A and B are shown apart, each in its own frame.
Chain A
Amino acid sequence: MSDEISDNKTNGVSRRAVLAGGTALTASLFMPKGLRAADFPTAEVNTTGLAVTDDTVTIGILHSITGTMAISETGSVQAEKLAISQINAQGGILGRKIEYIQEDGASDWPTFAEKARKLLLNDKVASVMGCWTSASRKAVLPVFEQHNGFLYYPTFYEGLEESPNVIYTGQEATQQIIAGLDWVNQSKGAKTFYLLGSDYIWPRTSNKIARKHIENFMDGCKVVGEEYYPLGHTQFNSVINKIRLRKPDVIYAIVVGGSNVAFYKQLKAAGIDMTQEKPLLLTISVTEDEIRGIGGENIDGAYACMKYFQSLENENNLAFVAAFKEMWGDDMVIGDVTQAAYLGPWLWKAAVEKAGSFDVDKVREASPGVELTTAPEGYVKVHENHHLWSKTRVGRAQADGQYEVVFETADLVEPDPFPEGYQ
């Protein structure tokens, strides 16, 4: 038996009343009129035996809620549950309430594969919101492709992938990296870069793209060092000494997880004051979630380049932050991935309504071109390659643990998971 929870908050409120009030909020361009389950007979919207009844549809949530990744993935779970309860409050999808089955990947990749198989084969879920690390995604990918499941994956990641069974709601590497490097070059006059990161596929691929961009597309710029440390590494003194010796304009840091805490504390202890910007520190791996562990005072003045910061001041985001805090507590912070996870259920809703069906093949066909004007990050749109068009922003870390947004791209950046010239 699994932990099935349906959201009961809206019981007693007539579906139409909620719908009327909800339309303004949803503002999806693909709001078909009506949206009563009766208009969408189950036999027609579900021809492949998914877990769809006359008034419910079941999806899966597959994240680690135990083990080392739990601290990172909890925010994603919370965001997905928030989105689901909001969608249900507006009447659900095609008149059906979303119910979810949550499974624990336990920070263990074989477990992810096992649970993915269970969700698809046993529970027949219509889609899955899940995974965080690349390793977990790689583990479940063959399962989703073989059994034709549909996964919404929230994390910014290395690219080099374009599965017909996955929608990538985070940024792929080129989206996240190139705009930030150009910005630091143009507005800060940075010429020399020291690349460092944790030793696995995402930092390595990201730094490869950064290096190619710096060497081939940025005049007079060069990389003066590149180093990797095992996950969980906590001794950064030797690299900090090298940085002081080579005096780069920018430390480009892709350190992840617990190593972050040691890295920023040791930088500060070594007398590198990031608020002086000599050298300037630019990271793509520290969201507001990580700052909670690092401590705002230790990272004050560093820059981060990603697509979302909690401090974004637009109506969508203000409403999102307020709803998130109401549901999960005032001391919550929201990072880039949490926001991307929040997009998952909404993008799926929009695709299902556009397709008029829960069938995975039809949802897949409908997905490219689906847009969301209500996204906290602003407007997003699904690309043919299953990634999102999104803006890239640079934020400056504050002592209070929030980022101040200092730059955003004028236009949406096109996702390019297999970038020419960067391989």
Chain B
Amino acid sequence: MQSSAFLSRKEMIGFALLAALIFIVFPMMLDSFRLNLFGKYLTYAFVAVGLALCWGAGGILSLGQGVFFGLGGYCMAMFLKLEASTPENTSIQSTPGIPDFMDWNQLTELPWWWQPFYSLPLALFAVVAVPVVFAFIIGVAMFTRRVGGVYFAIITQAFAAILTILIIGQQGYTGGVNGITDLRTLLGWDIRTDEAKTTLYFVNGVLLFAVLFAAQYVRKSKLGRLLIAMRDQEDRVRFSGYNVANFKIFIFCLGAAFAGIGGAMFTLQVGFMSPTLVGIVPSIEMVIFCAVGGRLSILGAVYGALLVNWAKTTFSESFPELWLFGLGGLFIAVVMLFPNGLAGVWSEKIEPRLLALLGKAPADKSAPDGAPAE
């Protein structure tokens, strides 16, 4: 029962509500510190939206999205770090003009692969291109060999571990466990001021909507329907003459691109990038955002990222010694009570009542994104 319009009426309302929340309610309700925090939460939403496509629609569970988030973030951080490391700012070093951590590690010149990051267009291109190329290589290696399901999840997790070890081990080139810190300006514009953070929040919001529309476009296209078909009956799709691997590679690369953009926005808003955002734990957290939001819904993914991170901040501020238990309880409650996540709560509980209140006939009962056929 796919409607042919790009956005059904219901979806239009959902998008409008989210837009109102991000562009009107949050900026009006929150001071600049909290707004910046919500900006940070929303950068995780990029990853969650990608996961909703890969996992929710395509059935490809990746436990390594932190890799792409991190690669995007590092590309941005490298550009910002080079801009911050002018010879004047770093005159105290034995080799002025290179990033401080390189100097601490006895490097005396900038490695060749850092050179392109002097240019903002190249850096922005790399933010998307590097994660996509990496995802493409993984995708080709895995999907053409028909590696899927749990095996694929484990392999992506291994990639997250490998990249973390690589970054930490090559600290002269990457900043090691400290990450790339003390980022200051973007083309001379100080990104640390409150005004800059507010501006970045809105840029982040606009990019998130661009990503959401792209995701919506994919879902509405023939590709989106094929993805769901592949998730539920991969063999039938293959026997129908489709090259399943190519579709999987494409959607995996798209998720990686989204994650890369999120990572770059994270670096800009938080002011540094570190390997703690690349590894296994953050990658799994990102899956949790998606699961809490409801993996079938791209809007749900955004709400999941917001809710989980907000809960994390609030619990840890109120109960610094117990907050992890609170967070654990939240996950258990969501999974036990609402297996379809926040999106499920909305479409099963809240929306029918709203419609009833408005005096309209209840919508057809099928889940909007096609729940698994089993």
Contacts and interface: CB of A to CB of B under 8 A. Distances in A.
Interface of A: 1-3, 65-66, 102-104, 106, 108-111, 113-115, 117-118, 121-122, 133-135, 138-139, 141-143, 146, 158, 160, 199-201, 204-205, 208, 230-231, 418, 423
A231 B274 contact: no
B120 interface: no
A118 B33 contact: yes
Given A2-B318, A66-B324, 19 more contacts: A3-B318, A65-B321, A110-B274, A110-B276, A113-B272, A114-B37, A114-B40, A134-B178, A135-B179, A138-B178, A142-B181, A142-B271, A199-B176, A200-B168, A201-B171, A201-B176, A201-B177, A208-B106, A231-B177
A103 B181 contact: no
Contacts of A121: 33
B179 A109 contact: yes
Contacts of B272: 109-110, 113, 138-139, 142
B317 A118 contact: yes
A103 B320 contact: yes
Interface in B2-60: 33, 36-37, 40
A134 B104 CA distance: 13
Contacts, number: 107
B284 interface: no
B73 to A, nearest CB: 11
A163 B316 CA distance: 28
A350 B274 CA distance: 36
Contacts of B36: 117
Instruction: From A113, A122, A138, A158, name the one whose CB has the most chain B CB atoms within 10 angstroms.
Output: A138
Nearest to A137: B178
Contact of B92 (A66, A146, A201, A418): A418
Contact of A110 (B105, B171, B270, B319): B270
Interface in B210-253: none
Interface string B173-202: 000111101111000000010000000000
Instruction: From B94, B179, B274, name the one whose CB has the most chain A CB atoms within 10 angstroms.
Output: B274
A205 B104 CA distance: 7
7 contacts: A1-B317, A104-B316, A106-B316, A109-B179, A113-B272, A114-B37, A122-B33
Contacts of A158: 104
B192 A142 contact: yes
Interface string B299-334: 000000000000001001111110110000000000
Contacts of B319: 3
A1 B318 contact: yes
A58 B132 CA distance: 48
Contacts of A122: 33
Size band of the interface chain B makes with A: 35 or more
A346 to B, nearest CB: 23
Given A199-B171, A200-B171, A200-B177, A103 B192 contact: no
A201 B33 contact: no
Nearest to B277: A110
Nearest to A158: B104
A275 B243 CA distance: 68
Contacts of B181: 138-139, 141-142
B165 interface: yes
A109 B276 contact: yes
B296 to A, nearest CB: 29
A103 B182 contact: no
A218 to B, nearest CB: 21
B177 A104 contact: no
Contact of B271 (A103, A108, A113): A113
B87 interface: no
Nearest to A109: B274
Contacts of A200: 168, 171, 176-178
Contacts of B274: 109-110, 135, 139
B111 interface: no
A311 B276 CA distance: 37
B169 interface: yes
A137 to B, nearest CB: 9
Contact of A204 (B92, B171, B184): B171
Nearest to B93: A423
Nearest to A228: B169
Nearest to B281: A108
B179 A138 contact: yes
Contacts of A135: 177-179, 274
A104 B176 contact: no
A200 B323 CA distance: 29
Contacts of B183: 142
A399 B168 CA distance: 35
B101 interface: yes
Contacts of B317: 1-2, 103, 115, 118
A201 B277 CA distance: 19
A200 B317 CA distance: 30
Given A201-B171, A230-B165, A3 B40 contact: no
B178 A201 contact: yes
Instruction: From A104, A111, A133, A141, name the one whose CB has the most chain B CB atoms within 10 angstroms.
Output: A104
Q: Which are the 5 A-B pairs with shortest beta-carbon distances?
A: A104-B320, A138-B181, A135-B178, A121-B33, A200-B177
Given A135-B274, A200-B176, A160 B313 contact: no
A209 B263 CA distance: 36
Given A110-B274, A114-B37, A102 B177 contact: no
Contacts of B101: 201
Contact of A65 (B276, B313, B320): B320
Contacts of A199: 168-169, 171, 176
Nearest to A3: B320
Nearest to B101: A201
Contacts of B104: 158, 160, 201, 204-205
A251 B183 CA distance: 38
